[in-house]
Structure 1
Amino acid sequence: MKIVLALDSFKGTATAAQACAAVAEGIAAVAPTAEVVLVPMADGGEGTLDALSTAHGAAQHEVTVCGPDGRPVRARWLELKSTDSDRGAVAVVELAESSGITLMERLSPLEAHTVGLGEVMLAALDHGVEEMLIAVGGSASTDAGAGALEALGARFLDADGMVVDPGGRGLARIHDVDTRGLRRPPVRGATVLTDVTNPLCGPDGAAAVYGPQKGAEAADIEQLDAGLAHFASRTALAMAAWSGSEPVDPSAPGTGAAGGTGFGLATWGAQLRSGAAALADAAGVDDALVGADLVVVGEGRFDSQSAQGKVVSEVARRAGAAGVPTALIAGAIDAPTTDFTHAYALGDLAGSPQQAMADTAAWLRAAGAALATAYEETP
């Protein structure tokens, strides 16, 4: 019996790797001869590097960069070796490591920036990677990725030819874009990983929807939204001329990701893609499914949003295409589970959500044991 464990993190209580390991322990207690393959998963938010660190040929690098509030921070990026000898390494960069909101001593919605993200990307480019995946969840700023582009060599100038300070406040002052020193994307391209579909500006845009959680008040949101619109008007054509492609449409889905970083990196040439789908490719989910008898997916809460491009639905879709049945383990279940052969809510097993969260690993082991028992008893 081959069982593939492709769980997402249980936010705040277990990383994806910890969740997979705990379920594996529970399965082993009941079915010690089962072949259990661990494929920790993520959707492009915080924890992406940790989820992929167990992937084949993964090597971790660290670099000191400028954090979102100007203080230096140590940030990691992951190098994934390709199993194809004709392809070079893939870099996985996580915005939260260098420009994340958890790195702020205090929220600063108008000054926070993504310079550190660009510096990590630059380190990966200098290392010689041929492809780059950029997970953009957990952003501290609303600077349209201008800080990252600046670190990559672009210069944003005001009407007097002076370099504009990084951060959302300075976006409205940008008059010209100097792309002469801007580094090109890697030869096999760059991909922004996000499941956010917001446009850059407007009532559903980066500032209006995500600004408040970054400390922006009403006046700040108005200023940031205007700055994002101005940035788009000043940069879209300039970056298109540099890249030789069509101008990026700021109303396109995903351009509002990470305070508009989706837009900024798209003008650099990066593609916007579902994080779950791209990371399933990077983690080798399809290869793991070959010969599998069962796939186990999981997350902290399974609800109506889980079917909208999240890890659970992406892995289940691939399993269905491969003809492999799928089981679900979640902290709580608030949506129908008819598509799964078995479904376990840790809160039900433990007696309450609070008890499940108090020792998530133990209840993940219990769910793994229950699943293995049920599977072996299935005719």
Structure 2
Amino acid sequence: MRVVCAIDSFKGSLSSREVGEAAGNGAVRAGAEAVIVPIADGGEGTLEALTSLLSHELVQITVEDLMHRPFASTYARFDDFTLIECAETLGITKFTPNPEFVPYVSSYGVGQQIKDALPAARIVVTLGGSGTTDGGTGMLQALGAVFTCDGSVIPHDTNPLWTFDDVDLSGLDPRLTSTSLIIATDVTNPLAGASGAAHVFAAQKGATAEQIECLDRQLALLGRMLGDVADIPGSGAAGGLGAGLLTLGGRIISGFDWVAETVGLEQACLGADLIITGEGRIDRQSAKGKVPAGVARLGQELGVPVVALAGSVGMELGDFADQFAGVFSIQSTCRPLEEAMRPHVARAEVERSAEQIVRLRQA
């Protein structure tokens, strides 16, 4: 029996490769052959998944994190592209969301990374997991744009979106014109409006109801000033960072599909008898461009059954559960969350779960 293990990271516990290897060990104990394919969907862990599999050069530079603190960030140069992971610098897990922070958090650090990477021929920016809602204004500042309020230049150590009323893009780094900019995201939200960046995502980043209304008005203003990008699906990704990257000439692609193609997931799954996928938590949100949904779709196309593993599973998966041969929590006993997320505990539970699933499939 040939089992492919293509599992997203268990955030805060195991990387994609680590959880895949744990599942693979379980499959081997059950007498199967295991193939490990590190995978991600463009969110946190994408950089780690690709660098664990592909030849690369890591580049470390000091930039500003989303709270404007010095941060030793990392991006990677591969043979035919440079990868910048938004969550590496601006990740929502890197701070505690608070309404007091909303007027300050910015995407400036990602702009610094892009500037450092120029003049790379092809830059891929993954947008999942952002803790900012600034419409990409901070990133644009780092690349030469000037935002003003009542004629005064807005400094970069704030969130320019909060107060700006005008923008000058004439000073953007000219090297951007010779770079192919790829925006990897599975979020399809527009920049502003009821389904825009502020109304859908800002609350989880600390914004109050009043702040969300303010951010949405400013995002709508930004959209009018940036041109025809505001209604493009994905412009609202990463707090509107998608719109800023579109303004630079970027092109939006599916984060999961791009990672899957880059790591050769389809080729690895050809001839497989079972695919094991999963992520830290599987719920209704997993259906929206996350790894389990993408792997399930691929399994259906290839006629290979797909089983999903997770640290926890939502009670109401709806039709999403029908895409899998089974969806299972790895927990064998009740534990405090802190204990369950300890790497050695999670690894052992993944191994045990995968072994039992493979034994059942072989029966």
Counterpart for residue 48 of structure 2: 50
- Residues 33-85 of structure 1 deviation map (CA, whole Å, 9 limit, x = unaligned): x442211222222222122222222332211112222221011112233xxxx
Counterpart for residue 3 of structure 1: 3
Counterpart for residue 294 of structure 2: 314
Range with greater deviation from structure 2 (314-323 or 182-191): 182-191
Secondary structure of 2:118's counterpart equals helix
Secondary structure of 1:292's counterpart equals coil
Mapped contact 1:164–1:170 kept (Cα < 8 A): no
Amino acid at match of 2:207: A
CA 1:173/1:351 → structure 2, altered by over 3 Å: closer, same or farther?
Answer: closer
Amino acid at match of 1:212: A
Counterpart for residue 362 of structure 1: 348
Amino acid at match of 1:361: R
Mapped contact 1:98–1:120 kept (Cα < 8 A): no
What is the aligned counterpart of 2:202 among 200, 211, 228? Answer: 211
Q: RMSD between aligned alpha carbons? A: 2.7
Counterpart for residue 69 of structure 2: 71
Secondary structure of 2:130's counterpart equals coil
Confirm whether residue 134 of structure 1 aligns to residue 122 of structure 2. Answer: no
What is the aligned counterpart of 1:163 among 142, 153, 156? Answer: 153
Mapped contact 2:103–2:162 kept (Cα < 8 A): no
What is the aligned counterpart of 2:276 among 283, 296, 301? Answer: 296
Counterpart for residue 169 of structure 2: 178
Counterpart for residue 222 of structure 2: 231
CA 1:338/1:216 → structure 2, altered by over 3 Å: closer, same or farther?
Answer: closer
Mapped contact 1:200–1:228 kept (Cα < 8 A): yes
Amino acid at match of 1:22: A
- Residues 170-200 of structure 1 deviation map (CA, whole Å, 9 limit, x = unaligned): 5543424233443455867322223333322
Work out the CA distance in 2 between the residues paired with 1:329 and 1:213.
25
What is the aligned counterpart of 2:262 among 271, 278, 282? Answer: 282
CA 1:301/1:212 → structure 2, altered by over 3 Å: closer, same or farther?
Answer: closer
Gaps of at least 5 residues in structure 1 are 82-88, 237-246
TM-score w.r.t. the length of structure 1 is 0.82
Counterpart for residue 305 of structure 2: 325
CA 1:277/1:231 → structure 2, altered by over 3 Å: closer, same or farther?
Answer: same
Mapped contact 2:127–2:184 kept (Cα < 8 A): yes
Work out the CA distance in 2 between the residues paired with 1:215 and 1:343.
32
Work out the CA distance in 2 between the residues paired with 1:281 and 1:275.
10
Mapped contact 1:331–1:353 kept (Cα < 8 A): no
Confirm whether residue 256 of structure 1 aligns to residue 236 of structure 2. Answer: yes
Secondary structure of 1:57's counterpart equals coil
Percent of aligned positions with the same letter in both sequences?
A: 34
Following superposition, the deviation at residue 169 of structure 1 comes to 4.7
Amino acid at match of 2:109: G
Counterpart for residue 110 of structure 2: 117
Work out the CA distance in 2 between the residues paired with 1:183 and 1:208.
34
Mapped contact 1:194–1:272 kept (Cα < 8 A): yes
Secondary structure of 2:348's counterpart equals helix
Counterpart for residue 40 of structure 1: 38
Work out the CA distance in 1 between the residues paired with 2:75 and 2:223.
28
Amino acid at match of 2:48: D
CA 1:224/1:168 → structure 2, altered by over 3 Å: closer, same or farther?
Answer: farther
Mapped contact 1:63–1:75 kept (Cα < 8 A): yes
Range with greater deviation from structure 2 (107-116 or 34-43): 34-43
- Residues 134-173 of structure 1 deviation map (CA, whole Å, 9 limit, x = unaligned): 122232322110111222233334564x533234355543
Following superposition, the deviation at residue 213 of structure 1 comes to 2.8
Following superposition, the deviation at residue 260 of structure 1 comes to 1.0
Work out the CA distance in 2 between the residues paired with 1:173 and 1:339.
46
Following superposition, the deviation at residue 261 of structure 1 comes to 0.7
Secondary structure of 2:199's counterpart equals helix
TM-score w.r.t. the length of structure 2 is 0.85
Counterpart for residue 21 of structure 2: 21
Counterpart for residue 147 of structure 1: 138
CA 1:123/1:29 → structure 2, altered by over 3 Å: closer, same or farther?
Answer: same
Gaps of at least 5 residues in structure 2 are none
